[in-house]
Amino acid sequence: MDLIVHSLYSNKEVFLRELVSNASDALDKLRYLSVTDPDLLKDGPELDIRIQTDKDNGIITITDSGIGMTRQELVDSLGTIASSGTAKFLKTLKESQEANVDSNLIGQFGVGFYSAFLVSDKVAVSTKSPKSEQQYVWEAEAESNSYTIREETDPEKLIPRGTRLTLYLKRDDKGFAHPERIQKLLKNYSQFVSFPIYTWQEKGFTKEVEVDEDPAEVKTEGDGEPKKEVKKKTKTVVEKYWDWELTNETQPIWLRTPKEVSTEEYNEFYKKTFNEYLDPLASSHFTTEGEVEFRSILYVPATKKEDITDRKTKNIRLYVKRVFISDDFDGELFPRYLSFVKGVVDSNDLPLNVSREILQESRIVRIMRKRLVRKAFDMILGISCSENRDVSAFISFVAWFLGLSICILI
């Protein structure tokens, strides 16, 4: 198992992205099937993902209220790698990549499920299908090629519907069980997943409480005898508690039509996404349809990089089904002479390798690149035609752009 996992992924952080994406797929499937079979939602209409951590014991729990699996589906899906063995699995994977087809070797979860073993010694999958009365638990360890399946009988661990993944983290990876670490990864990779993601967070509120002071002697009228009076003071204390917190509140503006998005919203999204403080010179929001479908927002920055020969630019963020994949392409999506352009690209059917980390060279990618370049030039041309342009900023941009082009051609 360990050999398989590390042959697929180079970055441990992606485990959460993969598992959240799988949970989203399970919710999507339930939502789709419930249109023709409303009884699938009889255990509750809520469609969400909930992530809870136990930093003391190094445990992460990811629960979705999606379609779930029956016992046979567990065997057919999660048992694939364990039963076929490493060599056979890697051979099948290589053949699917050479044929340029989407790998879905283990059913609902896809190969991404096994990214859990990047950080876990042991993984437990507790799942209940709306078509089954029983809930089953699949368990496997990273250093084993076998698994067990049993029926869940503990009343406290039963779920109405869906799947609960429990990750028992490796000693060196227990840092992932900190709520702040999970929240950071979610905001980077899964901010735009179409279902709400809740994390279990420590919160607090302030309140005033009385504090007893030492008795102070206060003179009173009459017999002149001093009387002891207790002066009461208050202090502010923080009361802590735990509760669910919505992590992915922001919805992607690229899914809206351009006429629904204001200039202020485009500028705010640009500055927040790319850590910029100035509004861009121009933006382009578009959707392409036909043999290749994707949505994109591109920007021309107002600030220019000092080193125009730097090949390592991370200005284009690629999403697949609103899940962040990468911003490191080395020229696959944009040529070097347009490396200053910043933006996001979101596709539902972009071909990726099994780890979702490296773009495959394909006809679809070449078509995407061609359309993105065309839109980028249209945007640049639009700057020169705009009546509201900042002339000095535009001249500065043209000079810088020509310098970049000449530098690349030399």
Q: Yes or no: say if 270 and 276 are a contact pair by the CB < 8 Å rule.
A: yes
pLDDT at residue number 234:
82
- Is the pLDDT at 338 greater than 90, yes or no? no
**pLDDT-based confidence at 83, cuts 50/70/90?**
very low
Residues 6+ apart with CB under 8 A from 113: 18, 19, 22, 78, 106
Quote the pTM value.
Answer: 0.78
Task: Mean pLDDT check: name the lowest of 29-38, 176-185, 336-345.
Answer: 336-345
**pLDDT-based confidence at 357, cuts 50/70/90?**
very low
3 state DSSP class of 346: strand
pLDDT tens, position by position, 21-62: 889 989 999 999 999 999 999 999 999 999 999 999 999 999
Phi, psi of 352 (to 5 degrees): -130, 160
DSSP for 307-333 reads: -TT------EEEEETTEEEES--TTSS
Task: Mean pLDDT check: name the lowest of 259-273, 321-335, 365-379.
Answer: 321-335
d(CA 147, CA 170): 18
Structure tokens at 64: 């979705």
**pLDDT-based confidence at 346, cuts 50/70/90?**
very high
Radius of gyration of the chain (CA): 28
pLDDT tens, position by position, 230-262: 567 888 888 888 899 999 877 799 999 999 999
Task: Mean pLDDT check: name the lowest of 7-11, 32-36, 262-266.
Answer: 7-11
Strongest mean pLDDT among 207-221, 235-249, 357-371? 235-249
Domains of the chain: 2-198 (3.30.565.10), 201-246 (no CATH), 253-409 (3.30.230.80)
Phi, psi of 66 (to 5 degrees): -85, -150
- Is the pLDDT at 362 greater than 70, yes or no? no
